[in-house]
Amino acid sequence: MFFMTFVVVVIGWFYPVAWWWYVLAFGTFFGSVIYGSFNINSQVFVPAVCNVPVSKNVLALTFDDGPQPDVTPRVLDILKEKNIKATFFCIGYKLEKNQAIAKRAAEEGHIIGNHSYSHSYYFDFFPKGMVRKELTKTNDLIKKITGKFPRFFRPPYGVTNFSIADAVKMEGETVIGWNIRSFDTVIKDPQRLQERILSKLAPGSILLLHDHQPALIDFLPGLLAAIEERSFEIVPLDQLIGEPAYSN
């Protein structure tokens, strides 16, 4: 797309080119940039693992936006009771305040992933240096808490762009997306929410939930039971995608 725009601009420099060629070229270019930015599955900027092609009924459970003192420990209790290992994509500034919760999660066998430091609304407008700082600051915190350097990064809002792609490459992180977006922050009816998730269950899926809202505590046990009833097994994310969750 970039090449096409470039070609039109170069030709236009030497020869008269109809104005609509510019509209077409720039329109396609910016259209693809916007599409790539807001669709983590699009893989336009950076490869993101959103699911894996397997035939077995397995999936991985991921929780974003914690640790949350009034929610995450209860979620850990529920997972412990079921002996299920999940991944928590933690926000750096919340990790700083809730280190004991993340430590407990790691000790109980869950994976701690990086979900940026600030989770800023403007994250997708941050230049490369700022994105990298967000990554390293949170990676250092995770290393301090768990003793291990995380390799899994989930960009806030699932947005990817050139800056994020470069920063991730420099840090040697793997971008983790999802293929089952629960919309648990939007859908308030637990029945509808559960039906939505179950209708999308497929082998090799990555399910996105959020552990920053108390409704999850009542919702999660029923969901886990329903997943089990459909003969799906929840496996750790590193096992599902065949990549280590930590570099050392």
Show which residues are catalytic. 64, 210
Any contact of residue 184 with Zn ion (CB under 5 A)?
no
| 3-class DSSP assignment, residue 126 | coil
Q: Whose Cβ is closer to Zn ion: residue 26's or residue 38's?
A: 38
Helix axes 99-107, 72-82, angle to 10 degrees: 10
Which residue of this chain has its Cβ atom nearest to Zn ion in the complex?
Answer: 64
Nearer to Zn ion, 5 or 120 (CB): 120
Q: How far is C-alpha 73 from the chain's CA centre?
A: 21
What is the closest distance, in whole angstroms, from the C-beta atom of residue 112 to Zn ion in the complex? 15
Distance of closest approach, residue 210 Cβ to Zn ion, in angstroms: 7
> CA–CA separation, 235 vs 105, rounded Å?
16
Which residues within the stretch 138-157 sit at the binding site for Zn ion (CB under 5 A)?
156
- The rounded distance, in Å, linking the Cα atoms of 133 and 207 is 27
Residue 65 has φ and ψ, to the nearest 5°, of: 80, 10
Q: Rounded distance, CA 186 to CA 199, Å? A: 17
What residues from 75 to 134 belong to the interface with Zn ion (CB under 5 A)? none
Q: Which residue has the tokens 């090799």?
A: 204
Give residues 42-81 in contact with Zn ion (rule: CB under 5 A). Answer: 64-65
Site string for Zn ion, 156-175 (x = CB under 5 A): x-------------------
Q: Which residues bind Zn ion (CB under 5 A)?
A: 64-65, 156
